[in-house]
Structure 1
């Protein structure tokens, strides 16, 4: 059948680090509770997930609800819930769905204010080369 995701490229080929930068929220409150941290562990993947190297992350009004505590989340967490980037790592179940390292994707999933985000493969939207990842973030 036709492959939904773009062919893999070498754009992501740098090795995945052990730690990364992320905009972390360790307590609820105003915008000043968001702190950039440089030693956040890169998440491990469950089967069926992909690790996305974020290129863009969207800013959504609901992010303020999470940050302020209006919508409860377990603390600590990296903010954001939408983004676009390159698949940096896959798992066997994700590969069965046709997803490959190097694919350009957009997603709606928590933890997007980080260099890397673990996303269930079923939540990935393929992004054609003709569409910028900045635009795809808003899809």
Structure 2
């Protein structure tokens, strides 16, 4: 039996219920994994609230790290006893143990602790595709990253520095801006005190940035477009402030033949070989210390509702993990 946090209806954090359920044995192509640490992400909030509807009842959670307990027929890249980690569908990480598709799970290097792995898989793999798979970015380019003191942002600041890419971040308040600067942002704009569009234009001598990485959504989308140079790429990869309203596509031409994409991690990692290549690059960044993880909040599985409340209230910085 394994303790598991489920929801039976969409809504607020009060919808969580802890149950004990039988984990069972892995079938063909599956593994059974005992979790050591679980990651908390905004996609969990979207699924709980119903922004991303799902069949209920269902356990939540998209990333975790732990130990493989058993493997089903046909699984060759993992064996019982392996340290492993994942960011994957279907949800179900908010549990002490689970059975899941093996193709979505990667072997975890000994040098990466379980809590670090749980804090970085979804956010780190997201950073990898933003910098390497969405649009060509090379040393000397300039990007704007919205919410640079958040979980993805703190990784992105370091990633940009390691790739010699100039990252301009935004954050709410001087303290959060300093966190982003300490992690490698070249500049950080306090959006509570300054208009970020005006400041970006000042910092780029009126040229704008090559790309914007925006996980905030509704509140920043229009301004983000105004920060791009002609032919620039807008990567809208999240909805922390709510979904982006429909846009008039002709407006992109008026603003300089801009490009807009709404990527998701799960498209990129659908192919197991691509997933493993992305994970190898992420692990290399971490083991070389180009990227270090800040775990600023820790909760127990019994307290997952309060973890969600803190995340939604923008009371978190860096990464948050749920410890088993």
Tell me the secondary structure at the aligned position of residue 32 of structure 1.
helix
The offset of 1:44, in angstroms, is: 4.4
1:127 aligns with 2:108: yes
Choose from 54, 58, 79 the match for 1:100.
79
Q: Compare 43-52 and 83-92 and name the one that shifted more.
A: 43-52
Aligned to 1:28: 10
CA distance in 2, matches of 1:45, 1:68: 30
Query: SS of the residue aligned with 1:93?
Result: coil
Distance 1:62 1:43, change over 3 A: farther
- Give the TM-score normalised by structure 1: 0.79
1:111 corresponds in structure 2 to: 92
Tell me, yes or no, if the aligned pair for 2:5 and 2:16 is still in contact at 8 Å. yes
Once superposed, what is the RMSD of the aligned Cα atoms? 1.3
TM-score (norm 2): 0.35
* 1:86 corresponds to 2:67: yes
| Structure with the larger strand share | 1
| Residue of structure 2 equivalent to 1:50 | 31
Identify which of 46, 59, 71 aligns with 1:65. Answer: 46
- Give the CA deviation at 1:43: 4.4
Q: In 1, distance between residues paired with 2:102 and 2:85?
A: 11
Given the alignment of the two structures, is residue 75 of structure 1 paired with residue 45 of structure 2, yes or no? Answer: no
SS at match of 1:36: strand
Contact 1:25 1:34 in 2 (8 A): yes
Contact 2:30 2:100 (8 Å CA) reproduced: yes
Instruction: Point out where structure 1 has 5 or more consecutive residues left out of the alignment.
Output: 1-18
Deviations along 1:30-51, one digit per CA (max 9) or x if unpaired, are 00101122x2221443310101
Runs of 4+ residues over 2 Å off in structure 1: 43-46
> What secondary structure does 2:11 align onto?
coil
CA shift for structure 1 position 117:
2.0
Distance in 1, Cα, partners of 2:69 & 2:45? 28
Higher helix share: 2
- Do the aligned residues in 1 keep the contact of 2:29 with 2:101 (CA within 8 Å)? yes
CA distance in 1, matches of 2:77, 2:10: 39
**Deviation of residue 56 (structure 1)?**
0.7
Work out the CA distance in 2 between the residues paired with 1:43 and 1:75: 20
Unaligned stretches of 5+ in structure 2?
A: 122-324
Q: Give the distance between the partners of 1:101 and 1:41, measured in 2 at CA.
A: 19
Highest relative contact order (Cα 8 Å, sep 6+), 1 or 2?
1
